Amino acid sequence: MRILVTGGCGFIGSNFIRHVLGGHPGDEVVNLDALTYAGNLENLADVEADYPGRYRFVRGDICDADLARRLIDDSQAVVHFAAESHVDRSIEDASTFVRTNVLGTQVLLGAAHRSWTSGGGQDQERRFVHVSTDEVYGPLALDDPRGFAEDWPLNPQSPYSASKAGGDHLARAYHHTHGLPVVVTRCSNNYGLYQFPEKLVPLMIINALNGRELPVYGDGLYVRDWLYVLDHCRATDLVLRGGRPGEVYNVGGGSEQANLTVVQEIIRLVAECTGRPAEQMRGLIKHVKDRPGHDRRYAINAGKIMSELGYRPQMDFARGMAQTVEWYLDNRAWCERVTSGAYRGYYQRMYQGR
């Protein structure tokens, strides 16, 4: 099938495109991305050459209804990754988050509804996968033995998670009202290759390599379930092909870790790979003023996707983090271009005038 992937130049989207093209030889992918600050075409630099005729990039905004309709008219599925996702940025200015995560999602849903009902009835062979986050459930107490289940009430606590919850509600409303074949996924914290360095894991790796401070919010004991990005891509693919319309599927890594533990593990791995003294890098840890409204813990119950679709995370935290650190060490030029902003020139070099 031809799949429209939104936000395909981002961290998770680019990994998903590689997963689909490598694992499903009959599939084609159209990648719609606005190339905002975290969208990096270099993440897919080799894809056009490796998969001729099966991959196409379109630069555009998901809020452009005409463009969305044209692309969805020609697609059998939509996998919607495009989102503003950094909580800190949402605290500074929520307007972009509302525009992209709420309005942009509604534009895509509306385009899919109009396109897929043009023959008079909803085409149930199509799929619209709306990729969301466990943050929409709100905080969980440290001693609560439960993980978020799909029927857990939504209780978002940051502008980011509130905007994602708005998109979730719209997606499910389009299924209930119009019969649109929508499936929602909610994942835990992703980590892995090609992640933009404002997020915890790549920021700590890059700063440790460069001898810079390692800023940790508050006491550093905020707990998250860590999900290796390629496990998330496999889960999303399973939902795309086998998920039931109207359902929500939680995706977790089965590995709860405190932020400070993650930082300590990164230090250990960087020291092991580079020969630098771990104790010296530990001295770079700086506990900084906490983020406003910082949720103490998230935890996922992924039993539904496991029982219905056979999902199991293949990467445990220790191996996943080791592979992630190794990738960033092997791709320092990529890191330098991203942190300097030089990666933005790739679009002009490759696509300007084409």
Point out the residues that are catalytic: 134-135, 160
Under 8 Å between Cβ of 238 and 297? no
Q: How many CA atoms lie within 13 A of 333 on its CB side?
A: 2
Q: How far apart are CA 251 and CA 243, in angstroms?
A: 13
Residue 53 structure tokens:
């005729």
Q: How far apart are CA 200 and CA 210, in angstroms?
A: 15
Q: What Rg do the C-alpha atoms of the chain give, in angstroms? A: 20
Among candidate residues 301, 266, 300, the one with its CA nearest the CA of residue 282: 266
Q: Give ∠ CA 104-40-98 in degrees, rounded to 5.
A: 20
- Residues β-bridged to residue 287: 216
Residue 40 structure tokens:
């990096």
Under 8 Å between Cβ of 208 and 266? yes
Residue 12 structure tokens:
């998770």
Q: How far apart are CA 230 and CA 16, in angstroms?
A: 8
Q: How far apart are CA 198 and CA 185, in angstroms?
A: 23
Q: Please, what sign has the CA dihedral across residues 67, 70, 74, 77?
A: positive
Among candidate residues 288, 292, 302, 230, the one with its CA nearest the CA of residue 259: 288
Q: How far apart are CA 73 and CA 68, in angstroms?
A: 8
